[in-house]
Structure 1
Amino acid sequence: MPDIFLSYRRQDSSSATGRLADRLEEHFGPGRVFRDHESISPGDDFTEAIRRAIATSTVMLAIIGPDWLTAHDEQGRRRLEQSGDFVRQEIETALQAGVPVVPVLVEGAKMPARNELPKSIAELWRINAIELSESRWPFDTDQLMRTLQSRYVIESDRPAMGELPGSTPLFGSGARFALSLLELATHPTRMIAKQQTGQAIDHVRAFVFLLGSLAVGSLLVLLGFQLQDPGSSAAELARRFVGGSLGLVLAGLVITMLMSIALLLAWRAAGRRVELQQITLVMAYLVSGAWLGLAAGALVFGFGASFYDPGWFGAFARAIGFGLDAPGALGPVLERRLGLQAIPAVAGLGTGALTWLLSALWCIVAWGAFRQAFGVTRGRAAAATAVWLLLLGSVLLIGGLLASQLAGESVPAVARALRQG
């Protein structure tokens, strides 16, 4: 999906918009610029495609020419005053969605006064405009692209303006991964939509991102355990990290695939035919964000817990079955340490819980990426989600019952083995 949405009136600034689009596509790449008739695939619903493109864009450039304000229809009515005017609808949609709108004045146009604009887009008057002059076109468009890169963080495969040829970029793959994580955290639906270019490499990028997120989350969990056992050797830490990372990678891939298959069935049940590849692409980013939020919350929560009981993580692990040397150890620990007095403990526990709450809210927001990707109504998306939750709930219930039955059968055998030992 594009980063830059060009809103313009064809009978007003078609030529200037074409020149600007060519310059932007040359610098940022064709996939980053949306220009109505050239960017909408045959068979797509025009209105829905426009709405989806605006919602997932980073910035809208409102191209204003000499006749942008005064353009009228066959009956002599000003187009901008009509609710069905596409230019008005585009700007309204962007303002309502919180997408930044930058007025771009071309062919000597002046910025409209506030009282000349419909009330729904009157906010446009307050935004500082950029003028593209015919006599300074290369300089002005360079300034515009520099603004798009610096202020709106729209990346280009080319060096930034002003860099010396052959200079080494400061951002490597690690920095790009960090920037992607930041965008995923703050604008999940937009970030995920931008990864769907229709190329096979999209899925490679998605699962590389998933693997990186699982590894980072594993490191956060390892740090949480290290707070409880600061005396571990470097070799022990490396062993834990490698073993934990491999386990998380396998578990993450399996969970992602199982949830994707369940969601595929749910969308089919809701009457929307989608492909598994479309779902796994979005699900990879959702699982990445959810796991990182869970791991970060666990790290902070464990940090706070360590102030009132240094062995809290270990006791918790034994209590849920990761150790048989001290069964039921968590209960006495919590009874002894119920009153939390230390400020760092309270801050850590509270921040960890808040991180988990924000992660849950993030998952709800990010789930909208499926609706954006498939271009469906909220009702159909809600129906598919309900079926998906029902399927997952059924699987978890059956799995829980089987696990309980197996655990019940194995407890006597474990007890006999302990007594014999």
Structure 2
Amino acid sequence: MLLRGVHGRLCKPLAHARALGVVRLGPNLEACAFGTDTRQQEPKRRTVVAEAGHLMKLYSQLSKHRLSALVMSTTSAGYLAAGGPVDALALTSACVGTMLASSSANTFNQVIETANDARMHRTRARPLPSGRISRQHALGWGVASGTAGITVLAAGSNPLTATLGAANLLLYVGPYTLSKTRSEINTWVGSVVGAVPPLMGWAAATGELVAVEPLLLATYLFMWQFPHFFSLAWLHREDYARGGFAMVPCADPTGSRTASLVTRYSWYLVPIPLAAAALDATSWMFAVEGTAFNAYLLYHAYRFDGDKSNANARGVFKASLWHLPAVLALFVFHSRRWELEDKAEDEQLGTLIQRIRARLTKLCLHEIVQKDEAASFCPVVVVEEVGAEAQNIATTAAHKEESLQARSDIGS
């Protein structure tokens, strides 16, 4: 469209507006040709963006995003431990659904514990105690994220995974949260909650739970939470007592019971990598590596047992933070499921894992030692040889028994 300018010549609308002095062009454009003042629009845009960012930050804090991310990682470990082929939709749905369900559980937990959190130095700045978000708004977020999470699990994974997710959400919000101010048993209930996500991952991958691997993973998650949480609770024991929570360290002034539980459950982790290898769920290298990681955690547990200082408790807590992801990653990496032909065939991730294993084998101590026939001190080789010998003895004995039975039948 052309307009007639002040001198009677045809010009474009912007040129015409400039001629009339409506638009001032320069480094900063302050007005448009048709009278819309961007100086009024820009603050509104900034306000909307700022409000959206602030709201996302509040939702993230209600969801305890770091804890929810850790929970999601244990779900992915459960899925990948099942081997290939990896269904991208099912894996993504399992992770996203778990993250949303965990966010919902954490939100409801904070709604119920608002008064308790307000009395604790560690938690009084959270959105609800600080008054930065209303109770109704938080409840709305909890319902929305929980509903979305279970829906994603059901639609993208399968009904079994969704059922586990819904049951775990209810267990966290109900028995666990309500018992925190009533009984020390809350830590054991919470550990059950923490053990469920790898089961969800396995269920999303296979559609069932009847297998050794998910049981091992769930057991490991259950045991791991005690050194992790009791060390944290010892560091904040005065704050927990101020908030009215019934935690073991709050009724343990000397720390002897807390340290004993930390050490005991650290020991309970030790047989699990060995059992995983013995049951052929993983290779024996997982037993070696898992034992090394558990030994390091035990080292910190015994330091805390010898001296119940905050520094030693913090050592246990920090060790537990990297201990779990490392062991889960090793479990997935050494899972025998990736060695099955029907699992690994045409599976890029399975092929990648096999290639990495082949490269690492060149650096593996027990493989290097195994090449020398005279060297028999490699622990992995020794265990494998003992296992093979025991299996041969059992097979030979079974054959002899069958042979004797056959002769007896012929003689009769």
Q: TM-score, normalised by structure 1?
A: 0.28
Q: Which has the larger radius of gyration?
A: 2
Higher strand residue share: 1
- The structure in which a higher percent of residues are helix is 2
